[in-house]
Amino acid sequence: TTAHIGVTGLAVMGRNLARNFARNGYTVAVHNRTATRTRDLVRDFGDEGSFVAAETAEEFVAALERPRRLIIMVKAGAPTDAVIDEFAALLEPGDVIIDGGNAHYADTRRREADLRERGLHFVGAGISGGEEGALHGPSIMPGGSAEAYESLRPMLESIAAKAEDGTPCTTHVGPDGAGHFVKMVHNGIEYADMQLIGEAYHLLRDVAGFSPARVAETFRQWNTGRLDSYLIEITAEVLSHTDAETGKPFVDVVADQAEQKGTGRWTVQTALDLGVPVSGIAEAVFARSLSGHTDLRSASGHLPGPAASPLAPEEAERFAEKVEQALYASKITSYAQGWNMIRSGSDEFGWGIDPGAVGAIWRAGCIIRAAFLDRIRSAFAARPDLPTLLADDHFGKEIGEAQADWRSVVATAVGHGVPVPGFSAALASYDALRSERLPASLTQAQRDFFGAHTYRRTDRDGSFHTLWGGDRSEVSSD
């Protein structure tokens, strides 16, 4: 038998992707460094479709129809390089290697360039949706050449999640590292979303005085409206869960230290390099990091602040409505930042990414899937040159309607001593962008004072320097 596609690396992700292909009628060659995983897959799920179990790399490659298409689903980093090297040596020009792991886009660029020199196609494909997504339909973000994408398209479209209108959640994102870049930004947005939801929860509990069950109810209600999303849905599930051992709300027995695997950090590091402000994502990464600093937290636990004083019940109800507005407005701002970053990356690396297409493939399958993403898709479809989401009439109108409540929530949070770095960074970004004049004029003047860094003027062209240490006359520095 010849297989349509091969999957090597059969831990949770690879196994479920292989099953997804098989369930969709493809013959799948399967391989894993440790052969027991391969045998287990065929033993446990062999009746779901057509698998070809390969014990060795040579057998695996020999099982594939040409041009050979094989997906690597192993640990990101050095293991991925090792596996690429092992298989590249066995392949022929025109064959396609797909890396579905969580690679850094810069690694993908390097690997793609190396393999292209050897006549091989390399497709770095971001895959989101966790193990359930891999099995039932992930959102797939492939980079690499258009030619390689065309040869994979029917298979990827059949295993991908489908949006409500039936469109598969995959597209050719762009050349070389574009797919993994977009997957990275997806995860950055996911961090920001989770932080904003966390802040809404914190406010509903400590300011509105709601129980976890009542917060869950509130989220469930929000999930029927414009905030409808997977993350809000699972938040309600988590908040209504009771710990079996203690009978307490589950959220109260989980240690309040959030971990991270690194894609949020990559997003922020890359944003710093590109010079694109993603303050919402940065605050989310820092908030997780702060939570884990038990040393700093215990050394600061005695510092004064407002005493806990929940609002009266009649005020609490209205406050919860305001929190919904603040969450929604912060979310729009945060997504706008994410899309600004996609545009910067695309410009920097010449990827030509279609921003609307990214919204389209995130509508289902991935962790940030939400009703909202279809509106982002249509905003860019209507105006492909839209400079930023906030400039879209529809989002601009909504955020304008929310802004008074948003300010009120941030002010209340500050008054009650509840930290809302996500809400307040988003609001600061919104206000900075809409300000006619920013104090950056003063910053630039300071730079000219101590470092002769020059400045531009509002009233005429050119570059100028003031002789601060002399008679303070102005000279042209062009």
Report the interface residues with ligand NDP, using CB under 6 A.
9-14, 32-34, 37, 73-76, 79, 82-83, 101-102, 127, 130-131
List phi, psi (to 5°) of 176: 30, -105
86 classed as catalytic: no
Active site residue 117: no
Q: How far is the CB of 12 from ligand NDP (least distance, A)?
A: 4
Which lies closer to ligand NDP via its Cβ, residue 32 or residue 340? 32
Residue among 16 and 337 whose Cβ is closer to ligand NDP: 16
Which is nearer to ligand NDP, 81 or 315 (by Cβ)?
A: 81
Minimum CB separation of residue 58 from ligand NDP in Å reads 15
CB 329 to ligand NDP: min, Å: 30
User: Which CB sits closer to ligand NDP, 23 or 37?
Assistant: 37
C-beta of 108 vs 240, nearer to ligand NDP: 108
Report the residue number, 11 or 445, with the smaller CB distance to ligand NDP.
11
Copy the structure tokens of residue 475. Answer: 């000279």
**Catalytic annotation, pick one of 131, 157, 190, 259:** 190
Q: Nearest distance from residue 29's CB to ligand NDP, in Å? A: 15
CB of 154 to ligand NDP, least distance (A): 22
In the bound complex, what is the minimum distance in angstroms from residue 295's beta carbon to ligand NDP?
30
CA 149, 155, 160, 162 dihedral sign is positive
Question: Which of 65, 162, 183, 314 is labelled catalytic?
Answer: 183
Which residue's beta carbon is nearest to the bound ligand NDP? Answer: 101
Please list the active-site residues: 183, 190
